Amino acid sequence: MPITPEQRAEIDRLRAVTATTRRATVPALEEILYEPLEVLDHGFVRVVDYMGDDSAVVQAARVSYGKGTKKVTEDASLIKYLMRHRHSTPFEMCEIKFHVKLPIFVARQWIRHRTANVNEYSARYSILDREFYIPTPENLGAQAVVNRQGRGDVLQGDEAASVMKLLRDDSEAVYAHYEEMLNQREDGTTIEEGRQGLARELARMNLTLNYYTQWYWKVDLHNLLHFLSLRADPHAQYEIRVYAEAMLDVVKRWVPAVFDAFSEYRLGGTHMSKTGLEVVKRLLSGEAVTQEASGLSKREWRELMDQLGRAE
């Protein structure tokens, strides 16, 4: 299950309280505050705190003392200007804190973004839950031929069934061994009286990377958008992309004007090299440009043609 009964009780307690504040709040984000947005089979993303809104970005850019007399449309135009010209500092004025439950192998990808404050669940102190990620059949991709770090066609038939069985059996087996080494069950009760059991910090090394961990992840808006530009990309691994997509919905609720600008200039836009731009100019002039005459590598050429919608 994504959340425990204890977590559900805490969420209900927090959501039952309404605080009076002079700080900016966002009604659309308040609607989902503390609530888990379920991801994968046992994971979730929760917003547990935030600071700032669209006006905080504008205020920082203008270095003003308040919202002033500017119209919403003018604020949106300024935010688009900032996004278009990569003026990142005003976006750093907003911050958000997430509680995330995710498979360990996804966490290892995620933590490469060294631009946030992180505090992870300690398996040295507590026993990990018996919860592990098993892909759905449509996400059992074979190794891609062209992209060495991606997946290709979906496995079928007996091979897919065999992989699913191996994943489930291995995951169940290592947890049983984990409990045996600890001499404790998942609920903390003792398995065999009189036996010491291995330290938790050692027993955890036997668990596979599809087991779930949890952390609090606090980040400013600029670095969150950078994370999302990479992890919400169609080329990102599915298992981290679905977390990014859930967080994109959070951004849309929290800072809608920033979300619109981000969608326009980052998610829906593109970046090309100097040579790539020259190729586009040559194509627009009517020249029949080939990869060999473009000055681009085969991979760069293929990527550029994909961007232009001219892929073969």
Active site residues: 231
231 belongs to an annotated ligand binding site? yes
State the Cα–Cα distance between residues 79 and 55, nearest whole angstrom.
10
Secondary structure (3-state) at 213: strand
18 belongs to an annotated ligand binding site? no
237 belongs to an annotated ligand binding site? no
Q: In the chain, what's the furthest Cα-to-Cα distance?
A: 84
State the Cα–Cα distance between residues 258 and 96, nearest whole angstrom.
14
108 belongs to an annotated ligand binding site? no
For residue 110 the two structure tokens come to: 């995620």
Quick check: 86 and 94 in contact, CB under 8 A?
no
- The full length of the chain comes to 312
89 belongs to an annotated ligand binding site? yes
162 belongs to an annotated ligand binding site? no
235 belongs to an annotated ligand binding site? no
**CA dihedral (189, 191, 193, 197) positive or negative:** negative
120 belongs to an annotated ligand binding site? yes
State the Cα–Cα distance between residues 302 and 305, nearest whole angstrom.
5
Quick check: 138 and 154 in contact, CB under 8 A?
yes
114 belongs to an annotated ligand binding site? yes
State the Cα–Cα distance between residues 243 and 46, nearest whole angstrom.
11
99 belongs to an annotated ligand binding site? no
122 belongs to an annotated ligand binding site? yes
Annotated binding site: 89, 109-114, 120-124, 204, 220-222, 226, 231
Annotated binding-site residues for FAD read 89, 112-114, 120, 220-222, 226
Tell me the binding residues for dUMP. 109-112, 120-124, 204, 231
